Structure 1
Amino acid sequence: MKALRAYAPASIGNVSLGFDVLGAALAPVNGAKLGDEVDIRPAESFSLDTVGPFAHKLPGDVDSNIVTKCYHHFCNAMQLAGKAISPVALTLHKNLPIGSGLGSSASSIVAAFVALNAYFDSPFDQDTLLTMMGELEGQISGSIHYDNVAPCYLGGMTLMTGAQSPVTLSLPLNEQWYYAICYSGISVSTAAARDILPKQIDMATTLTFGRQLGVFVHALHTGEFELAASVMTDVIAEPYRKSLLPGFDDARAFSEQAGALAFGISGSGPTVFAVCSSKAQAEQVAAYLNDHYIQNEDGFSHVCQVPQQGAVVSTL
């Protein structure tokens, strides 16, 4: 009887210039795990246990946990496909803070679906799983989007297509870029961060958004990475969301003075990230953020790169 563990990394949603359509996975360069894990074992009836540094922030009711909802969603899909299903015992290792802007819910969702799919001998293909992941993410944020679940599942930097298949496209990576990321320790809900945004965007801002995204994708494909970095400015969300993030303007100012290529909000925040041209520069920015941006004992900083590998499964 097999027992498996699925690991799903943290992610940056939006990557500043790609509101709801760009995402990137994160991997600390020191080898630390920055992501949730789900263990799966055979059982006589379904159960879910929660452990880890942020497990105490989860709903006390197991039925309300997103991993439980993933299990029921997966079971329904199996039944519709005419495939056999059996009870399992799941354990969620909640390593990512909730409401952090690091794709915390996406990490739990991806780890759950990847564990279930591997346990039941991979009945669903990549796009089908991605669609299910997006549907569950939508239950939390209020709208279906893939900018966290796609890079978390697949790794790399991903561009959402808006189509059923392929759901996402992989973009070329600059292996010389390092990301100084810092979670301040406070919580910002995705729903609240969306509510603060205007319901309509003016024509000039819309044109800037489209131009930046087009230039960015082109520049990555042609290897013009300085050009790509030059358009990593958030004209949609950051002007409004930064008011939710104490110390944001000072953090940006220091990062720019240190020579960072770009600075922005990871997803809905409060995590911020600085794109740096060297590991030493990223370490300098991360040290500042650790000393000046963190608000409480839950906060942390890391120097990361964007990994090619997303979620992985191992045997327990």
Structure 2
Amino acid sequence: MMNVDDQNSITAYAPASIGNVSLGFDLLGAALAPLDGSRLGDEVTIQKAAEFSLSVEGRFAHKLPADPKTNIVYRCYQAFSAKLGERGQTAQTVHMTLAKNLPIGSGLGSSASSIVAALHGLNDFHGQPFSQSELLLLMGELEGQISGSVHYDNVAPCYVGGLTLMNSHSNQIALSLPVFENWYWVVCYSGISVSTAEARNILPKHVDMSKTIEFGQQLAVFVDACYRQDEELAAAVMNDVLAEPYRKSLLPYFDQSREYAIDNGGLAFGISGSGPTVFAVCNELTHAENIQRWLNEHYIQNDNGFSHICKIDKQGAMTA
């Protein structure tokens, strides 16, 4: 337990994440750590202050609403303060600075990163009054305010790190799966935005029994392959039968990008979350670098786009 009186300032970082990981709609998520050591995620700095205030900076700050009270970080402070109040405790008045480094509507867990950085930072700043599971529940609630439904495939890996499988049958919401240490994850954001609500509205309201069975089989086989470290089988079932057939229409050059990646050493290729970010999995760095170059030239649509070669971030959120 930290001594709250010693805390004058703290900065929390929360990594970007891949939701769904193709075959695990709303059930699988992976945290990302770029190979070059850069931070792909949002940061929130918390400082003692006479009254609450919030400022925003960073590459994508201009994409956020001008009114701080509409910012999800402000809502995080309100929710955290309310939870403390239920325990008869009072939150400190602070100034919070959000460094918005992830693009909104990118499919990289942008809102989740802000939420996780804010709540993880607030929890550490106040001496960790809430457990990991309590804080994760609160993160899911706040994510649901943005996406329209509570799901953890971004907030969970962003918070705890690694490759996570969502669980609704116990207090342990996120189950950590073994990862393939030799896998490289190429992520490429095209520069356009796709809202989670729009990406969900394009999906069918009902799914055929055959697709449901295929989805369940793929997820089960993938989990088994992770534990047995059978990368060939794991990669073979990384195919989205539920969302990708519909969502890919929102992503220019998706089919061409998939074809190039698979023909040039990619083990799997898919949409990160709701898109437009795509990802390719490779087991050789040279293949990853080649696919990244092609995506930079063909998939990126404007100056907002970018790409990274990543490994799985096993640490998740951190504070300094």
Q: TM-score, normalised by structure 2?
A: 0.97
Structure 1 residue 104 corresponds to structure 2 residue 110: yes
- 1:116 corresponding residue in structure 2: 122
- 1:46 corresponding residue in structure 2: 52
- 1:32 corresponding residue in structure 2: 38
The answer to whether the 8 Å contact 1:286/1:303 transfers is: yes
The answer to whether the 8 Å contact 1:109/1:133 transfers is: yes
RMSD: 0.7
Q: Give 5+ residue unaligned stretches, structure 2.
A: 1-6
> How far off is 1:216 after superposition?
0.2
Give the secondary structure class of the aligned counterpart of 1:84. coil
Partners of 2:91 and 2:299 in 1: how far apart? 47
Which of 79-88 and 178-187 deviates more?
Answer: 79-88
CA deviation digits over 1:237-271, x for unaligned, max 9? 00000000000000001001102000000000000
Partners of 2:79 and 2:33 in 1: how far apart? 29
The answer to whether the 8 Å contact 1:150/1:168 transfers is: yes
- Identify the match of residue 180 of structure 1 among 186, 189, 204: 186
Sequence identity, in percent? 61
- 1:63 corresponding residue in structure 2: 69
Q: Give 5+ residue unaligned stretches, structure 1.
A: none
- 2:4 corresponding residue in structure 1: none
> How far off is 1:96 after superposition?
0.2
- Identify the match of residue 272 of structure 1 among 255, 275, 278: 278
Partners of 1:25 and 1:61 in 2: how far apart? 30
Partners of 1:129 and 1:164 in 2: how far apart? 15
The answer to whether the 8 Å contact 1:7/1:312 transfers is: yes
> How far off is 1:142 after superposition?
0.2
The answer to whether the 8 Å contact 1:127/1:164 transfers is: no
> How far off is 1:83 after superposition?
2.0
Extract structure 1 runs of 4+ deviating beyond 2 A.
none
- Identify the match of residue 167 of structure 1 among 150, 162, 173: 173
Structure 1 residue 76 corresponds to structure 2 residue 88: no
The answer to whether the 8 Å contact 1:255/1:285 transfers is: yes
Partners of 2:311 and 2:41 in 1: how far apart? 14
CA deviation digits over 1:42-96, x for unaligned, max 9? 0111100000000000011111000000000000000002223221100000000
CA deviation digits over 1:115-168, x for unaligned, max 9? 100000000001100000000000000000000000000110000002350111
Give the secondary structure class of the aligned counterpart of 1:7. strand
- 2:3 corresponding residue in structure 1: none
Partners of 1:303 and 1:223 in 2: how far apart? 22
Structure 1 residue 300 corresponds to structure 2 residue 306: yes
Would you say how many aligned residue pairs link Structure 1 and Structure 2?
Answer: 314
Partners of 2:170 and 2:204 in 1: how far apart? 28
Partners of 1:187 and 1:245 in 2: how far apart? 10
Partners of 2:64 and 2:117 in 1: how far apart? 16
Partners of 1:147 and 1:7 in 2: how far apart? 18
Which of 108-117 and 76-85 deviates more?
Answer: 76-85
Partners of 1:86 and 1:168 in 2: how far apart? 29
> How far off is 1:4 after superposition?
0.4
Structure 1 residue 241 corresponds to structure 2 residue 258: no
Give the secondary structure class of the aligned counterpart of 1:26. strand
Give the secondary structure class of the aligned counterpart of 1:211. helix
Structure 1 residue 20 corresponds to structure 2 residue 26: yes
Matches within 5 A, 1:250-269: 250-269=256-275
